Amino acid sequence: MVVIHGVFVTPRFPLPSSSARPLNTSCFNGNSSLSFFLKKHPLSRKIFAGKQSAEFDSIAASDKVLVPDNLDDDPSSFSEEPQRFDLEIQTMEENEAVITEDQLSVYNDAKVVKERGVKPRIVPPPSDGKKIYEIDPMLRSYSSHLDYRYGQYRRLREEIDKYEGGLEAFSRGYEKLGFSRSDAGITYREWAPGAKAASLIGDFNNWNPNADIMTRNEFGVWEIFLPNNTDGSPAIPHGSRVKIRMDTPSGIKDSIPAWIKFSVQAPGEIPFNGIYYDPPEEEKYVFKHPQPKRPKSLRIYEAHVGMSSTEPMVNTYANFRDDVLPRIKRLGYNAVQIMAIQEHSYYASFGYHVTNFFAPSSRCGTPEELKSLIDRAHELGLVVLMDIVHSHASKNTLDGLNMFDGTDAHYFHSGPRGNHWMWDSRLFNYGSWEVLRYLLSNARWWLEEYKFDGYRFDGVTSMMYTHHGLSVGFTGNYTEYFGLETDVDAVTYLMLVNDMIHGLYPEAITVGEDVSGMPTFCIPVQDGGVGFDYRLHMAIADKWIEILKKRDEDWQMGDIVYTLTNRRWSEKCISYAESHDQALVGDKTIAFWLMDKDMYDFMAVDRPSTPLIDRGIALHKMIRLITMGLGGEGYLNFMGNEFGHPEWIDFPRGEQRLSDGSVIPGNNFSYDKCRRRFDLGDADYLRYRGLQEFDQAMQHLEERYGFMTSKHQFISRKDEGDRVIIFERGDLVFVFNFHWTSSYFDYRIGCSKPGKYKIVLDSDDPLFGGFGRLDSKAEYFTYDGSYDGRPCSFMVYAPCRTAVVYALANHD
């Protein structure tokens, strides 16, 4: 039973026969004195982890567990029809009213209205999805595909309404599955249709597989209710270890519950342990600050908590909260995008091989400490985005979803389609009802429980195509997007999750990592689009790496401008010169491409510079500013790259021997290059300081003028001879001189508005490590008459390798 404010909710699940084959009498004794727990102070943590006993480790796949006689052993016979948990709600007293399941969502909404004074949250019903043809008439030629796609989306919405009470209720699967606590006890449910028998084991029952046998319903959902102890305490203590033992087609296996909210790796062990996480009220973190409104323009600081320390260590949520968040605010960013939040057993995966989707990474602290981090960011006015991974999952079978119920096709596609050969990971079956429930609920969980303000969805290109974007060069031809190689189930899921997020959380932000340029990607679902707010403009970073491999003489101004502006009309993009991808071992950051080994010896300001350092510092600033100026409606920077962080990221790893006998050298599990040397950017005796100061000035310039979201953008010059690019964005005029030696006196530049102009940002300012060739107090008066297609113009001095931004003096 589940108790909702005094109301018992009794699942009407068909139960197996009471007759069952006996269990093997051997059981896991464990060490009951070892447990995971939190101290009473909500932000202090001490976790004790003990190894599982040898008795548990020795249980073989042939050991017997309880198998109900009337259970079909053939997993292929399990229903894939949309399932509905048929809940009958009974009152605690005979004379109290009965609430039906259909009334349950209304009851919950009414409760929210009464307690919080807010309106019930609903996801608007689908429209006809035809507006995309008005936005882009070229799509009419592919209407059969697009109409089918939208029809699949509408069908799913209708079935979810019919069988689940709507998308709002469907996306709260974490309230039904996994562990749920009531006044009477704890209910645990798990969808595992391939399992022939299941029991809940853990510290609480001395890992005895005979103690708490679960029952299975017709949809393959296993369930057990554990009443409170006689003293009223929960049957499973907060912080203790739990797993589900299943007899599967692949043998007996112990797994971390799929909906687990916290998991921890014990010292000396490889697999993680599931933790029953339900702290007492006095230890739960209470949010104190409201979530910020969605900013008009996004300036994102991409961060990884674990590697955010200046020391070679795994950093904590608390340290990030206290040390890094104020830095991000000071630098002028208005959003922080946090990587590697979902639990991942392999640290070096950068968080992309997720094992426990509902659990925050325990390496960095507790769930309460993560909530404190997010609350502090909100206090600073920072939007917090989570790098969420729904494109694939870890192959781990002991602590992940892979082969969870002993079958290959549980959460994932079976066979080759369910395996990503390059990422060595499993691929979700987005056509499965329960997979939709799991992923939609996961997307809602982090917004609801942790107050994240939105997501950066990873690997969306891989999701949308059966070829996963591998060995495919997208040219922009629409046939590449709307054919048999498009995974309509995956695109439909993306439409559902965007619809759910924006319907229930109107201020939430969704960013999709797509390199293909899928049309309609950032058009609302109601209009027939996929529904993202922004697309990551991934081609820009690739273009900069391509250019940096060339001589300065071979840089083409037109090529730079084309790449920066090549995006779909009315679909917003997040631009970036480099992200975490370029910082990983095997690649180079822009600073390292530009300055290479000279960074080791010539970055001190009291030492002579070198031509390579001078060039690198100048171009580093120019590349970042022109990317922000022309590349999109938002901007992203990976932590440390704002000051040209030296070297690369290399996670601690050991030697790896491949099946062919070859060996990949490790780094002796060193954390030396798995950290961020913020001290370099803060040191006034190093040239890194100038790069950091410029990046800060760049962010504050955008905050003041809002040029990234201005509808006015005009490129007046891209001169291949002079190596000059001039453009207007909003009320600003940007002048870039990429020439390596030529500076231009009395260089005439066009502008749209007459008046007196002033310099508002100068990359050559000595504060930014420049040579100070411009007078920051100079005034520039316009001349009437058309020039470069503009109605006015003024004369400037454009030194070589500089970027200067001009604004009308009376702008304020």
Catalytic residue list:
458, 513
Structure tokens at 670: 């060193």
Alpha-helical segments (H) within 332-398:
367-379
| Beta-carbon count within 10 A of 84 CB | 14
Of 565, 570, 512, give the one whose Cα is nearest residue 539.
565
User: Scanning the structure block, which residue is given the tokens 């924006």?
Assistant: 502
At residue 804, what are phi and psi to the nearest 5 degrees? -130, 135
At residue 301, what are phi and psi to the nearest 5 degrees? -105, 110
Whether 568 and 522 have beta carbons less than 8 Å apart is answered as: yes
C-alpha triplet 748, 754, 760: angle, nearest 5°: 70
Torsion of CA 467, 471, 626, 633, to 10 degrees: -10
- Integer Cα distance of 331 and 320 in angstroms: 15
The secondary structure element, H or E, covering residue 189 is: strand 185-191
At residue 482, what are phi and psi to the nearest 5 degrees? -125, 65
At residue 800, what are phi and psi to the nearest 5 degrees? -65, 145
Whether 32 and 206 have beta carbons less than 8 Å apart is answered as: yes
Residue type, 744: Y
Whether 492 and 428 have beta carbons less than 8 Å apart is answered as: no
Structure tokens at 352: 């992309």
Structure tokens at 223: 């369930």
Q: Is 6 left (phi over 0), alpha (psi -120 to 50) or beta?
A: left
User: Scanning the structure block, which residue is given the tokens 């270890």?
Assistant: 241
CA atoms within 13 A on the CB side of 534: 31
Residue type, 109: D
The string of DSSP letters for 57-79 reads HT--TT-----BTT----GGGS-
User: Scanning the structure block, which residue is given the tokens 């009802």?
Assistant: 433
Whether 160 and 166 have beta carbons less than 8 Å apart is answered as: yes
- Integer Cα distance of 475 and 349 in angstroms: 30
Of 676, 635, 760, 703, give the one whose Cα is nearest residue 329.
703
Whether 587 and 766 have beta carbons less than 8 Å apart is answered as: no
CA atoms within 13 A on the CB side of 124: 13
Give the C-alpha distances (Å, rounded to integers) separating 488 from 136, 180, 220, 282, 565.
Answer: 20, 34, 26, 46, 29
- Integer Cα distance of 767 and 329 in angstroms: 20
For the chain, report the end-to-end CA distance as a whole number of angstroms: 64
Work out the burial of residue 66: count CB atoms within 10 Å of its CB; fewer than 13 is exposed, 13-18 middle, 19 or more buried: buried
Of 490, 387, 394, give the one whose Cα is nearest residue 443.
387
Of 722, 705, 714, give the one whose Cα is nearest residue 812.
705
Whether 495 and 525 have beta carbons less than 8 Å apart is answered as: yes
Q: Is 424 strand, coil or helix?
A: coil
C-alpha triplet 117, 447, 402: angle, nearest 5°: 145
Whether 702 and 297 have beta carbons less than 8 Å apart is answered as: yes
Of 286, 287, 266, 264, give the one whose Cα is nearest residue 276.
264
Whether 228 and 439 have beta carbons less than 8 Å apart is answered as: no
